[in-house]
Amino acid sequence: MFVVCERGTKYNNGFLIRAGLDGAPFPTNVWQVNLKETALGGLMRGSTTLVTNAIPARPVGEWSRFRIHVQDASIALDADGSRVWVFKGLDASAGYIGLQAEIKAFEFRNLRIVERSH
């Protein structure tokens, strides 16, 4: 779970899932929950959008709460307490978590990572 806050307009950020160590500076073909202003809450694999944004942009300075649940080949996104989407088809079984921030300041707080055994 994490909470994000936009500090300006025209931001482009993301939360990377099961990322590899490659990249200069951005890993190729990585899974990403998009935090871009015009695609907030979408799911991408590399530069391909698999789930379009379903969350309207928030006013500058307003916090949003996200929960990403990843288990096996499934990923689900909750935003501000409501389920937004579920996607089944992750092809990366392991990797790193990454925070992407481009162009504008973007704040994360209360970032929690919980690993559960199956």
pLDDT digits (tens, 9 = 90+) for 54-104: 788 777 778 888 999 999 999 999 998 999 999 999 999 998 888 887 776
Tell me how far apart the alpha carbons of residues 116 and 118 are, in angstroms, rounded to a whole number.
Answer: 6
pLDDT of 1 over the 60 cut: no
* Cβ partners under 8 Å of residue 112, min gap 6: 1, 2
The larger pLDDT score, comparing residue 6 to residue 17, is at 17
Q: What is the pTM of this model?
A: 0.85
CA angle (14 as vertex; 29, 81 as ends), nearest 5: 125
Q: Is 15 exposed, middle or buried (0-12, 13-18, 19+ CB in 10 A)?
A: buried
**Residue 118 banded pLDDT, cuts 50, 70, 90:** low
pLDDT of 2 over the 60 cut: no
**All domains of the chain in start order, with CATH:** 2-109 (2.60.120.560)
DSSP letter assigned to residue 38: G
| pLDDT computed for residue 85 by the predictor | 95
Tell me how far apart the alpha carbons of residues 109 and 84 are, in angstroms, rounded to a whole number.
Answer: 21
CA dist list (Å): 43 to 20, 50, 67: 17, 6, 13
Whats the size of the chain, residue-wise? 118
